[in-house]
Every structure is written in structure tokens, then in C-alpha cells.
Amino acid sequence: QKEVEQDPGPLSVPEGAIVSLNCTYSNSAFQYFMWYRQYSRKGPELLMYTYSSGNKEDGRFTAQVDKSSKYISLFIRDSQPSDSATYLCAMSAPKAAGNKLTFGGGTRVLVKP
């Protein structure tokens, strides 16, 4: 079983719709949760990171973490064609327990004009 599960998609939505992405994980040591966006032939670009449980909002993006369910989400409001990319969740344990990132497989998102 993978440590982090993420639906590969593709997820196709019309412009202006809300994009809903999520990951589940099995390692209860994870405390830092990140969402990366990756365009074709580019490296992952950090969108948001959150620590432990709760919500975080940044512009059109909202990240949610539910540690009790081992479930994290990313919502993109008012989606634009430029949001079409692969979205990767990533997680890490605190420094003392190791600081490498564990990634989900990524969800491909297509926003249609």
C-alpha cells in the first residue's frame, strides 16, 4: 500500500468552476502538508503548505487538513485555463523524524474555457 494515495484523474472542469483535489495518507507521523503544481516539462512549484490540522486560504486556493481522517484537500475557486496542470500533494514528518517529502502520484487537472 502506498503511503500517500492520490487520484490520477484527469479531472476536467469548465472555467469558473471549483476544483476539488484530495489525498489520503497512512503515516500518522506526517505533520507538514504541501500542495505543488507542476506544468508539463517543469518542476513542481509550491502552492501552499499547512502544519497539522486546519484550513489555510491564499487567494483562490484553500487547503484543508484533517489529521483524524488522514485526509487533505485543495480547493481552487474560480478556476482558469491557466490552472490546467498536475497537482501533487506532499507530506513530511517533523525534522527529528526525517524531513524528506513523500509525494502522491499527482492529479491532472484540465480547465476548459
Which residues here bind other proteins, judged by CB under 8 A?
2, 4, 6, 32, 34, 36, 41-46, 49, 51, 88, 90, 92, 95, 98-106
CA distance linking residue 44 with residue 2, whole number of Å: 20
Which residue number, 22 or 102, has a Cβ lying nearer to other proteins?
102
CB 35 within 8 A of CB 22: no
Tell me which amino acid residue 63 is. A
Residue 28 CB, nearest distance to other proteins (Å)?
A: 18
Which residue number, 25 or 79, has a Cβ lying nearer to other proteins?
25
59's torsion region: left (phi>0), alpha (psi -120 to 50) or beta?
left
CB 80 within 8 A of CB 66: no
Residue 44 CB, nearest distance to other proteins (Å)?
A: 5
Which residue number, 79 or 104, has a Cβ lying nearer to other proteins?
104
Residue 110 CB, nearest distance to other proteins (Å)?
A: 19
Which residue number, 13 or 32, has a Cβ lying nearer to other proteins?
32
CA distances from 27 to 39, 68, 88, 98 (A): 28, 12, 17, 13
